Structure formats: C-alpha cells, structure tokens
Structure 1
Amino acid sequence: MRDFKDDLDRKLVALLQDNARMATAEIARKLKVARSTVQERIARLEKDGVISGYTVLLSRAPDVESVQALVMLAVEQQQVRETIKRLETFPEIRTCLTVSGEFDLFLRVEAPRLDDLDEVLDDIAAIPGVRRSRSSIVLAAKFDRKRAN
C-alpha cells in the first residue's frame, strides 16, 4: 500500500503524523541520521505520493468537553449511496468508512454532551435504509494519527 523504503521511512512518517511541523533537525536527531537524509527522505516520500500533504488540525478549547461514539451501520445495499449522502449532512459525524463484514458503514461521531450524542444516534437510526446499528462510547483516545484523504 505504501512505498516505504525501510523502517526509517516508517519512523519518519510516524513522527510527521504526530507533528508535521517538526523541524528536520529535530527529526534527524530523533532518528539519529543526518539532516540531509531526512530532507531527502521527505522529498522522496512526497514525490512518491506517500506523503500527500500537510494539514491544520483545529483543537478545542481545553475547557470544552465532548463525547464520541464509534457506530457501525448495516444498510440496505440499494440505499448505501443515499444513506452516505444523508450522513454527510450531520456535522457530528467526523468519519464515515465503508467496511466489510456484518456491517456496511463505520462512523466516528462527536457531540458536546451525551444527550446530544443520543439524539444524533436516534436520527442516524431513523435514516431510511439503515437496518441496524451498534454503538460504542469512546472512553479515551490513546493516540490518533491523522491521515490525508
């Protein structure tokens, strides 16, 4: 899937996923390689499409809490596209993935409070074509690597 030359590429990408603004000198120090090696690797990874871009991630104010759920949906096959279009209208849905197996869609949903999340989950379940859903509340994020689409 990815064109990693070796373990150094993997470690380099992991550092950039954690902090894309990390200075090449700091990356070189952490990886124990020359700064020019880091620059060459980054240039090659960008050229090869492994690194497709950099982005800004907005953080919430420290005093703002939210609750997240991971939601699996079983959807009538002839209504998957329409269901996805409807799901796109929910600002609380941060991620929508198609998956194989018992369920068809996997969602990451975020709301300010538990009662707001409950309302969103009820609205999702009411979408025509949604046959069944299963939700799990996220207790804690141990790490979260952001990826380009």
Structure 2
Amino acid sequence: MDAVDEKIITELTRNARISHAELGHRVRLSRNAVRQRVERLERQGHIAGYTIVRPSGDRADGRVRAHVLVYRQDRMRGGDVLAAIRRVPEVVACDVLSGEFDLLVSLEAGSLDRIQGIWEHIAQMPGVRDTVTALTLSRVVDRPRS
C-alpha cells in the first residue's frame, strides 16, 4: 500500500458510502483510478464487506481487546452470571466452555480503564468464584465471517 491507498482507506473509514467521484476528488485521482484502487484493496483484503481491515495490532479506532476466563460457583445454576454479562455492552462474545474454566468473555472497550472496570464488575458478580484476564496484544488471524 502506498500513501494514496492510505488516504483512500482514511476517507472510506470516515464515510464508507462516499462515491468514487467524490473520493477521487479528495485524493486527487480520477473516478476510474479510485475504483481500480478500491477493487485492488478489496482483493488484497484491506477492504472486506465495506469494513476497513487494518494490519494486526494496528488499532486505529483506539479500542482495547481483552478476554476474561470466568469460574462460576455453580456451573449448572449460573444463569444469573450469564444474564449480567449479556447486559455489558462491551462484551462482544461469551462462550460456555468445557474443562477448567466455565466462560470465556471477549471484550472490546475504548480504554484499559474501562476493561478494568468491566473485569471488576464481573469478578464481583454473585456466582463468580474467580477470573483470569488476558489483554490482546495483536491479532494474527482475523478472517471475515461468511
């Protein structure tokens, strides 16, 4: 990717519905040249489903990812914990696990402070025995869902 591709991605991040003509005006290329570059960026995987995909670890949106492994007091009657976790807007996924841990809670938040606040909230929930938290440093595989 060159500087023009970066400008295109920046403009598409601001407004993914911008016309090729307007995008061309902003990056100083013809509509056809912009269309060709956008198609190439799609083929290369930088644009997927009209979502900008940055290289792993490049969190341009400033979001922080973390995973909380949760031990519940009672695996079979821990529905209150699940209901409380569903109400946390930063929870992007919650999986019930087999094995040592009961739940894997995946979070995305705007700051480390917010991640800590959510962790404290989960750890203090009635029915939670213990937690283990890991911050995501980088993502090496990020496949679009189909």
| TM-score of the aligned structures, taking structure 1 as reference length | 0.55
Return the letter of the residue paired with 1:92: E
Partner of 1:145: 143
Q: Deviations over 1:51-75 (max 9, x none)?
A: xxxxx68669x74201111110011
Q: Distance in 2 between matches of 1:57 and 1:81?
A: 37
Q: Distance in 2 between matches of 1:117 and 1:94?
A: 13
Deviation for aligned residue 1:77: 2.0
Q: Distance in 2 between matches of 1:73 and 1:135?
A: 9
Q: Does residue 64 of structure 1 match 2:66? A: no
Deviation for aligned residue 1:136: 0.5
Q: Which runs of 5+ in 2 are unaligned?
A: 1-38, 44-48, 54-58
1:21-100 equivalences in 2 (<5 Å): 63-75=60-72, 76-100=74-98
Q: Deviations over 1:34-57 (max 9, x none)?
A: xxxxxxxxxxxxxxxxxxxxxx68
Return the letter of the residue paired with 2:120: D
- Between 105-114 and 138-147, the greater mean CA deviation after superposition: 138-147
Q: Distance in 1 between matches of 2:90 and 2:138?
A: 18
Deviation for aligned residue 1:104: 0.4
Q: Does residue 113 of structure 1 match 2:111? A: yes
Q: Distance in 2 between matches of 1:146 and 1:84?
A: 27
**Cα RMSD for the two superposed structures:** 2.8
Deviation for aligned residue 1:112: 0.5
- Identity of counterpart residues, as a percentage? 28
Q: How many residues align?
A: 96
Q: Deviations over 1:82-104 (max 9, x none)?
A: 21111000001100001111110
Return the letter of the residue paired with 1:84: L
1:1-20 equivalences in 2 (<5 Å): none
Q: Distance in 2 between matches of 1:57 and 1:123?
A: 35
